[in-house]
Structure 1
């Protein structure tokens, strides 16, 4: 092989290896960025009336999500929602109630843990409840079965399959309650919190680290191949 060809081949090998090393470094940076990212609880601020942000039958503007809102009405149905996760609480069932806010409007409210539903005074449908909480987007993934008494996910569209609720005007999203008042008395129970992932890097840390190893291994293979060919060439 001529010297010129050897130089060209060497430059090509170095270029390809450099690309693989660069990709590995890029994945390493993303892994470190993901590891350094934080998850924060939505700060509870002074609530604003629900109707000033959203209307029934209209999708929530993303800018209005995760705001603290207030509303009132009557709980007309209660559901269990299995295998739900919140911060500091292992996967368990939630108590989700349908709150009728006026003659024809309905919004879902996550009241708390299903296991605590009997630890508070029983609410009659005639009692008006004042609710404040964080406005959350509807869930898109099923966490359990969808049946007469169980919601597969916290999503108001599932109410269309429930007896007596299909004719209501449904709000998009749901309220993650942080306070409930009945007849001037506060209902005392565990309130759930859902952290917000501030990271803009998708995936998991171990995925990025595995790609670092793969890219660097390919760089090592590219650098080794010319020497391997020399050994096997007679």
Structure 2
């Protein structure tokens, strides 16, 4: 009877070890699947970002090359610039009210003019990045009738010349928000964004200016297209390796034994 009980205990212990081993293998398999799925999802996420980058680039190029529109038809003062209208080529007219210097810009120091937009309701003005200047001298033709062809760009968000905040001269960045407390005419509204000048006529005569090179706003998706694709490859390889490692380990154990 004792022999039967001992045999039964051995069988129970063996079954317990077998069940424990099965549960461990199931747990390991689930862990492998979870990790591999995570890597796969990361690869798909980077793929979506790469496609989004391409679509955004195409949309920016489409907007940038579209026919010029009237500024008054696509933008309003005291309203945030719509992303769909950023980078559009626009036409407008009016008169310059003041001039400023914006130092530390990409191509050097810029002359910035404040243009009162003709027929704007309410009365409003917009900043115009007019030209590259030397010796920090501005020469804005105040109160002259001007006609402009320009690219509508979002306001700069980071200071390019922080010292101008201390001195109170010039603009730390091209952003109409910096003028709110400096305007003499408090009844004058301001447009969000600014105009990057392409051509200017004063009293019907073409101006001879050292124009700032044309540019469009950068994409809002961080990184570059090929950078996202490289991450797709990396995460996909990690997923494949995660799935392969258990089979490699099992094969290695067989060879060792």
2:64 aligned to 23, 42, 51, which one?
42
The 5 A counterparts of 1:1-234 are 1-2=17-18, 3-26=21-44, 29=47, 33=51, 38=57, 40=61, 42-43=64-65, 45-48=67-70, 50-85=71-106, 92-101=108-117, 104-115=123-134, 124-145=141-162, 146-147=164-165, 148-162=168-182, 164=184, 166-189=186-209, 190-197=211-218, 201-204=221-224, 206=227, 209=230
1:192-232 alpha-carbon deviations (Å, 9 max, x no partner): 3223556x75345658856975896698689869x6xxx9x
Q: Using the TM superposition, give the Cα deviation of residue 5 of structure 1 relative to its aligned residue in structure 2, in angstroms.
A: 2.1
Q: Using the TM superposition, give the Cα deviation of residue 150 of structure 1 relative to its aligned residue in structure 2, in angstroms.
A: 1.9
The 10-residue stretch of structure 1 (175-184 or 19-28) with the greater mean CA deviation from structure 2 = 19-28
1:28-72 alpha-carbon deviations (Å, 9 max, x no partner): 535754786747381152442x33333333444444433332222
1:116-162 alpha-carbon deviations (Å, 9 max, x no partner): 987x9x55424211112122222333222244332122221211232
Tell me: CA distance 1:140–1:8, structure 2 relative to 1, closer, same or farther (3 Å). Answer: same
Q: Which structure 1 residue ranges, 5 or more long, are not aligned?
A: 86-90
Could you say what secondary structure the match of 1:70 adopts? strand
Q: Which has the larger radius of gyration?
A: 2
TM-score by length of 1: 0.69
Could you say what secondary structure the match of 2:180 adopts? helix
Equivalent pair of 2:99/2:140 in contact (CA under 8 Å) = no
Q: Distance in 1 between matches of 2:188 and 2:108?
A: 29
1:10-39 alpha-carbon deviations (Å, 9 max, x no partner): 422331332243145335535754786747
Q: Distance in 2 between matches of 1:214 and 1:62?
A: 32
Q: Distance in 2 between matches of 1:84 and 1:151?
A: 11
Size of the aligned set, in residue pairs, is 221
Structure with the larger RCO, 1 or 2 (CA within 8 Å, 6+ apart): 1
* Higher fraction of helix: 2
Q: Which structure 2 residue ranges, 5 or more long, are not aligned?
A: 1-16
* Higher fraction of strand: 1
